[in-house]
Chains A and B, each alone.
Chain A
Amino acid sequence: MEQLGSYFERYGGINLLPVILAVIAFVLIGSPSTWLTLTVAGLAMGMMIFLMASGLSLVFGLMDVLNFGHSAFISFGAFIAASVLAALAAWVAADSVLLNLTALFLAIAAAALFGLLAGWVFEKVIIKPVYRDHLRQILITMGALIVAEQIILAVWGGSPISVPRPHFLTGSLIIGDVSIELYRLFAFVLGLVAYVALYVVLNRTRVGLLVRAGVENREMVEALGFRIDRLFVGVFVLGSALAAVGGAMWAGYETLITAAIGSEMMIIVFIVIIIGGLGSIEGSLLGALLVGLMGNYVAFLAPKMALASNMILMMAILLWRPYGLRPAVK
C-alpha cells in the first residue's frame, strides 16, 4: 500500500485522478467506443466549466471575496451570445467556414466584452463596499444574482431560447465506430487555449507573479507597495469575462437556454472550486475535469444519480483533503 502511494505521488499524484476515474469508467462501461464518446464529452464539459470556475476561484483567493453573483455573468454571456448568433443567422447557417467563424467569434467577443464591462461595474457597485465582510458579501451578491436573473427574464422573456450552432460545428467526427461531436472538440480546444493562456500569464509575467503572490499572502504584497485592489479589479473583470465566454460556449452546447442557466451552473461551479481548492487555476482545471468526466460517466451508467454523484465526489474529496485538492489559500 505504501509503495502504491509512492508510485502514485511519483507519477503525478492528484493529477492522475481524472485518469484513474477514466480507467474505472472504462472497466464499468465495457464498450470502448461508448467510453471514448463519453470521455470526450466529459472533457469538453470540464473545459467549459473550467472557464466559468477559474475566475471565481482566483477572485476568492486574491481578495477573500466570494461572489455568488458570478453565475449572473454566465447567464448573461449565454443570452448575449445567443442573441448575436440569432441576429447573424444568415452567417451562422452559411456553408462558408469563414462566415461561420466570424459569427461565432463575434458572439463570443460580445459575451466577453459584456463580461468585462459588467464585471467592472459589479466590482465598483456591489463588491467594493463590503470587502472583508463575508456575511454581507454573501447577502449582497445573492441579491445581485436575483436582480440579474430578473433582468434577463424582463429582457429576453421567460420562455426557453434556442441557440443556433455555426454550420461547420454541427455534426460529428466519425473515427471507426466512435462518433465525436465537433462542438465538443471545439469547446475542449477553446478551454485548453484559455487554460494555457492563463497559465502563461500567471507563471511567466510580472502581473501573474503579483497575482500569485497576492493569493499566497496578500498583506505581504501590499506591504511591498503594490496596489492589490487594482490588481484585484483586473482579475475580477477577467474572471467575469471568462465566465461570460464559458456561458456562451455552454449555450451552444445546450442549444436551449433559460434564465435559470446561471444558477444551475453555479452549483457545479461551486463543487468544482471546492474540489479543486480555492485560489488556484490548476485546482479549478482538475476539479472541472473530474466533475465533467464523472457527470458524463454517471449519466450513462445511472442517469438518476448524475448531480448527486458530483456531490458524493465532493464529500469524498473533502474527507480526504479538507481544503480541496490544490488549494492556494487555506
Chain B
Amino acid sequence: MSDVAISADQTEATGRTGRMIVYAIIGVIGICLLFAPMLFPDVRSQEVAARICIFIVLVASYDLLIGYTGIVSFAHTMFFGLGAYGTAIALRQMGPGWDAVLLGGALGLLASLILAALIGLLSLRVKAIFFAMVTLAAASVMAVMASQFSDFTGGEDGIIYKVPKLFSPATKLLTDDDGKVLRIFGAKANGKMAAYYFVFFGSLILYFIMLRIVASPLGTVLEAIRENEMRAEALGYRVVLYRTAIFCIAALIAACAGILRALWLKYTGPETSLSFAIMIDILLMVVIGGMGTMTGAIIGATLMSLAQFYLKDLMEIASQATAGIPLLPDLLAPDRWLLWLGILFILLVYFFPAGIVGTLSKRGGH
C-alpha cells in the first residue's frame, strides 16, 4: 500500500510559521461559522455556512480513508445519501417529529454500517485500484436505485418534507418583553437559528470525534498501514480488519452528516446527497485542503463551497466581457465552472500533492 501513501515527511515536516498561518485561518473560519447567523444574516450566506459545516464533516471523514489509511473509495456519497434519505423518508412517512428523525436516522446508520462492512470485508483485501472500482460501481448502483424506486425516494425530484417544529422559522426561541422574537445583533432567534446551531454543533461534535480517532492508537495503526501494509501485518495487526473498521467508521460519520443535511435543507434528492457530483466535490476538497490532515478538511471545504457559490457570479461577468470572441464565452460560462476547477485540480495534484495545509506546514521549517 506504500504506493498510495503520501510520503511521510510531508506530514511530519513541521514548519512553525506555516502552521501558525493554518491555525489562524482555521480560527477565522471557526469564528465566522460560530457567529454566522449574526455576521451573515441573509439567506444565501446562511445556506453556504451550513453547507460548509456539513461538508467539513464529510470531507474529514473521507480523509480518514484516503489520507490517513490510503483507501480510495468512491462510495462516500452512498453513505451520506443513506443517512439523508433515511431521515427524509421517515419524516415524510411519519410526519415531522423527533421520533421520525431518530428512527430514520438510525435506519440510515444501520444500512450504512451493514453495507460498509460488506464492501469492506469483501474487497478491502485486494488492490487499492480494485477497491476504487468496486466502490464506484456500488455507489452508482445505489444512485440508480434511488431514482428507480421513486415511490419511496421521489426519484429524480427528491422528497420535500417538514422537520420537527423546533426548526420551523415561525418558532420563537427567545422573546423580548413585547413577546416578539428577540434579535441578537440583528439576527432573529427563531427556528432557523436553532436549525443552524443544530447543524453547527452536530458537525463540531463529529469533527472532534474524528480528531480523537486520529490521535488514538487506532489512528497510528492506520497510518502504519498506509505507509507499509506488509510491515503492519508483520507486526501482528490484522490489516483487513483495521481497514474495514475505519471504512465503517467513516461511513457512519458520513451518514450522520447526511442526517444533518436532510434536517437543514428540508429536501432530499439525488442532487443534494447522492449524486456523483458531490463525490467529485469531496475529492476536490480533500485534495485542495491537503490529504492526511484534519485541518485540511476545514480549509478545503470552506474554499470550495465559497467558490461554488460565488465563482459563478464572477464567471458570468467574464463570460459577458468576452462575448465577441469565439468559444471563449462558452468556456467561461458559469455552468462551466467545473472545467476550471478540474484543471486546477489536475495542477494541484501535480504541483502541490500535499494540498494547502500540507504545503503551508512545511514552510518555515528546518
Of A136, A150, A311, the residue contacting B141 (CB under 8 A) is A311
Bound Cα distance from A240 to B127, whole angstroms: 24
Cα–Cα distance between A290 and B141 once the two chains are bound (Å):
18
Collect the chain A residues with CB atoms within 8 Å of residue B3's CB.
132-135
Sorting the interface of chain A by its residue count into under 10, 10 to 19, 20 to 34 or 35 or more gives 35 or more
> Does B341 lie at the interface of the complex (its beta carbon under 8 Å from any beta carbon of A)?
yes
How many A-B residue pairs lie within 8 Å, measured between CB atoms? Answer: 112
Instruction: State whether B72 touches A135 (Cβ < 8 A).
Output: yes
Whether B70 is near chain A, meaning CB under 8 Å from some CB there, is yes
Q: Does A121 contact B (CB under 8 A)?
A: no
Q: Which of A143, A144, A150, A158 has the most CB of B within 10 A?
A: A143
A17 at the interface (CB under 8 A from B): no
Cβ of A231 to closest chain B Cβ, rounded Å: 21
Q: A139 to B287, Cβ gap below 8 A?
A: yes
Q: Is the CB of A135 within 8 A of B342?
A: no
Contact between chains at B342 and A150 (CB < 8 Å): yes
Contact with A along B134-159 (1 / 0, CB 8 A): 10111011001100110000000000
Contact, CB under 8 Å: B280 / A307: no
- The residue in chain A whose Cβ has the minimal distance to the Cβ of B127 is A134
Contact across chains for A66 and B129 when beta carbons are under 8 A apart: yes
- A135 to B354 CA separation, bound complex (whole angstroms): 12
A62 to chain B, nearest CB (A): 14
Check: A75 CB closer than 8 A to any chain B CB: no
CB distance from A241 to the nearest CB of B (A): 22
Asked whether B132 lies within 8 Å of A154 as measured between CB atoms, the reply is: no
Binary interface profile of A, 123-157, with partner B (CB < 8 Å = 1, else 0)?
A: 00010011011111111101110110011011100
Q: In the complex, what residue of chain A is closest to B149 when comparing beta carbons? A: A304
Q: How far, in Å, is A164 (CB) from chain B's closest CB?
A: 25
Q: Is the CB of A138 within 8 A of B72?
A: yes
Q: How far, in Å, is A309 (CB) from chain B's closest CB?
A: 9
Contact B137 A270 (CB under 8 A): yes
Cα distance A270–B128 when bound, in Å? 14
B78 to chain A, nearest CB (A): 12
A136 contact from B125, B136, B353, Cβ within 8 A: B353
With an 8 A cutoff between CB atoms, is A112 at the interface? no
| Closest B residue by C-beta to A150 | B339
A271 at the interface (CB under 8 A from B): yes
B205 to chain A, nearest CB (A): 30
B144 to A: closest C-beta gap in Å: 5
Instruction: For A138, list chain B residues within 8 Å (CB).
Output: 72, 129, 132
Residue from B280, B343, B349 with most neighbouring chain A CB atoms (10 Å): B349
User: Min CB distance, B179 to chain A, in Å?
Assistant: 51
Asked if A322 and B125 sit within 8 Å, CB to CB, the answer is yes
Q: Say yes or no for B133: interface residue by CB 8 A criterion.
A: yes
Contact B333 A154 (CB under 8 A): yes
Near B by CB (< 8 A), chain A positions 133-189 give 133-140, 142-144, 146-147, 150-151, 153-155, 158
**B residues touching A (Cβ–Cβ < 8 Å)?**
3-6, 66, 70, 72, 122-123, 125-130, 132-134, 136-138, 140-141, 144-145, 148-149, 276, 280, 283, 287, 327, 330-331, 333, 335-336, 338-339, 341-343, 345-346, 349-350, 353
Residue ranges of A at the interface with B (Cβ–Cβ < 8 Å): 60, 66, 126, 129-130, 132-140, 142-144, 146-147, 150-151, 153-155, 158, 263, 266-267, 270-271, 273-274, 278, 304, 307-308, 310-311, 314-315, 318-319, 322-323
